[in-house]
Chain A
Amino acid sequence: MSAILNTEALLKVSNIETFYGPIQAIRGVSLEVHPGQIVTVLGANGAGKTTILKTISGVMDPERGQVNFDGHDIQRMSPDKVMRRGICHSPEGREVFPFLSVHENLVMGAYSRHDRDEVAQDMEMCYGYFPRLKERQHQRAGQMSGGEQQMLAISRALMGRPKLLLLDEPSLGLSPILVTQIFDIVRRINRERGVAILLVEQNAHIALKTADYGYIIEVGRIVLEDTCARLMDKDDIKEFYLGQKDEGVRGRRRWKRKKLWR
């Protein structure tokens, strides 16, 4: 049934609820990613953004709800099988293999593939996006700077030829210039390769500029969703996520303003 209704969405997450032991981290989240789209999930620390990605990629199992990818239910599948269906995950905090070289890290990204020639081509493509990695291809990943590791984490995920790329906080701990560079390349990857991207970010500014569609999540619930252009226009988003301070009617900032969605 659901396959017929959702022919368009590449990824359809419906009403998932995920727990850490007795603590409920996600309280019924639904979202969709369509082919070729960049979708972002925004929210504060501990809102449950990373948990959503972990639930999609199979590291955590939802208690309830479905994750449908490319017409198949993938919830409670083990992460390596999910990856083989075409979802590659660039995790929060990079998680590169510290004692392997850059080259070997990329080889591992293509572990599930057996088309040697195309793997070599894709590796050149990654070096094209991030020339810094080519310079350091024989260096151990653990010895590189945070920005270089982030480039490696994204490239390593690309090496799996994903249909959907999950990016978890690519801006974490990077300088503003590097953040801009990395997001430029994320956009290029999306356009040139046609890869759909689900982007989780705390840096709402750059995420809204990069993505097509956005979800706002607070304490495990989605409270708002819209196209990024419209989200950027909303007063609540401006005030609470983009940090723009409007002068109130009475000439000073309202400190105890209630958000509209509460």
Chain B
Amino acid sequence: MQDAARILQLVINGSAAGCIYGLVALGFVLIYKATEMVNFAQGDIMMLGGFAAYTFIATLGMNYWLGALLAIGATALFGYLLDVLILRRVIGQPQFQVVMLTLGLGFIFRAAAGIGWGYDSIAFVTPFTNKVVRAGGLVLGQDNLSIIAGTLVLCGVLYVFFSRTRLGIAMQASSQNQLAAYYMGIPVRSVFSMIWAISAGVAAVAGILLSPVSMIDVNMGGIGIKAFAAAVLGGFGSIPGALVGGIIVGVVEQLSGYYLPPGTQDVTSNVVLLAVLVLRPQGLFGQTIRKRV
């Protein structure tokens, strides 16, 4: 009984970490589906979102919810401008150029954040910090639960947006067939910039949700690598796949951290990734469709 409760607790905590990976992975996937670019600065955009929230909430003393909302908006605007000013120019260039550019942007963001906010780990007070919920034999941090709940809400909102609204469907259409979207009168370039805005906003949500668990610092974007593994695991290009992939990576990490020798935790996500790629090269949710002639 004790064991079952412990496993459940590990799974829940792992899912919370996994939701963060999933949200960052979601950002990778949205941008990749639309523009076929892989944005390696995604984790660093999350970091910027965290710092923006810190500025609004801790420095300017705003209410948590208002500050979080403003931080998400500001990061989304940042993503939009990033595309308009820089990344739009490399669409259609070889993948390697895009990788180098986004990696470089990541370095710049980290340096800029270090100059602006300093290199120390910082935190702001959230309504979920240091509170626990006891249910049965379980002791769960509200911070972890808030991550799971926040992710679910965000996914619901995004699902409704992408499947029900005209702009959302137009984003899907532009991702599926750019040329045809142009023929329909969809302003594809600005639609892509809005997709950048959404994925930056999602990254900011991840940064804000993560901040009570692990503090905000310049190098928190490093989880982008694990999120990348999650995105590939889910079948790069699938939105539910990104989230499920993230949760799998998170849970496996937690369990291996508890049951396996120390040091294995950091490699398990990649072991799982390799195993999935061997057994199912298109990833768990890979979408493939052949064009009929």
Q: Is A99 an interface residue (CB 8 A)?
A: yes
Of residues 84 to 120 in A, which have CB atoms within 8 Å of B's CB atoms?
84, 88-89, 91, 93, 95-100, 104-105, 107-109, 111-112
A and B contact pairs by CB, cutoff 8 A, 15 listed:
A59-B182, A78-B182, A79-B183, A83-B182, A83-B185, A93-B291, A97-B176, A99-B287, A108-B184, A111-B185, A112-B184, A144-B292, A146-B293, A156-B184, A173-B292
Contact of B188 among A80, A91, A96 (CB under 8 A): A80
Q: Report A135-150 CB contacts with B as 1/0, cut-off 8 Å.
A: 0000000111110010
Residue contact B172 to A111, C-beta cutoff 8 Å: no
Check A160 for interface membership: any CB of B closer than 8 A. Answer: yes
**Is there a chain A Cβ closer than 8 Å to B166's Cβ?**
yes
Known: A95-B180, A105-B173. 5 other contacts (CB 8 A): A79-B182, A80-B188, A108-B181, A108-B184, A108-B186
A57 to B180, CA, bound (A): 11
Min CB–CB distance B206 → chain A (angstroms): 26
Give residues in A with beta carbon < 8 Å to B. Answer: 57-59, 78-80, 83-84, 88-89, 91, 93, 95-100, 104-105, 107-109, 111-112, 142-146, 149, 156-157, 160, 172-173
* Chain B contact residues, CB within 8 Å of chain A: 166, 169-170, 172-173, 176-177, 179-188, 287, 289, 291-293
Q: Which residues of B contact A98 (CB under 8 A)?
A: 176-177, 289, 291
**Residues of A close to B166: CB separation below 8 A:** 107, 111
Give chain B's interface secondary structure class: helix
What residues on B are CB-neighbors of A59 within 8 Å?
Answer: 179, 182
B182–A146 CB distance below 8 A: no
Contact assessment for A88 and B183 in the assembled complex, using a CB-CB cutoff below 8 Å: yes
Given contacts A97-B177, A99-B172, contact A109 B184 (CB under 8 A): yes
Tell me whether A111 and B184 are in contact in the complex, defined as CB-CB below 8 angstroms, given that A99-B289, A104-B169, A142-B289 are known contacts.
yes
